[in-house]
Amino acid sequence: MVLLSRTIHFNAAHRLFNPGKSEEWNRATYGESANAAGYGHNYALDVSVAGEVDAPTGMLVNLTDLDRILKEEVDRPLDHRNLNAEIPEFANTVPTAENLARWIWDRIAARIAKEGWPCRLHTLRLTVTPNFAVELVAP
């Protein structure tokens, strides 16, 4: 098995707030991250796909194709957006790093399957700050 990885960057704002809970609960749970004005991050996303190298092309997947999917499924919908207000799935789901990483995973994995590539999503690492990241790994 070969792993091929790509990194992209995007910026997004959000507010950690559960609309089904009280203001007091949200402040106790999320602290300053529950601020009504929200705040932003400069995210780094590392994605690795796994599979076997295709003998005729010598590639696991064409990087141009992978870049296109990352642009369409991650960068275009998320970059310079307010996650709570502009991403329908986060209208009632708290856009924590964990939930955002899962949302990204689901989109990329579905596109890889739809494209029929001979690989699968293996690892996704969403770096939020220099000392905080969320990582998902295929079972």
Domains of the chain, start order: 2-137 (3.30.479.10)
pLDDT digits (tens, 9 = 90+) for 83-137: 999 999 999 999 999 999 999 999 999 999 999 999 999 999 999 999 999 999 9
136 closest CA partner among 120, 116, 118, 122: 122
pLDDT value at residue 111: 97
Across the chain, mean pLDDT equals 97
Q: For the segment 1-31, what is each residue's pLDDT rounded down to a tens digit? A: 999 999 999 999 999 999 999 999 999 999 9
Residue type, 74: V
For residue 112, what pLDDT is reported?
Answer: 97
Residues 6+ apart with CB under 8 A from 15: 33, 34, 35, 36, 37, 38, 39, 84, 95
pLDDT score at 98: 98
φ/ψ of residue 39, rounded to 5: -165, 170
pLDDT for res 115: 94
pLDDT for residue 50: 98
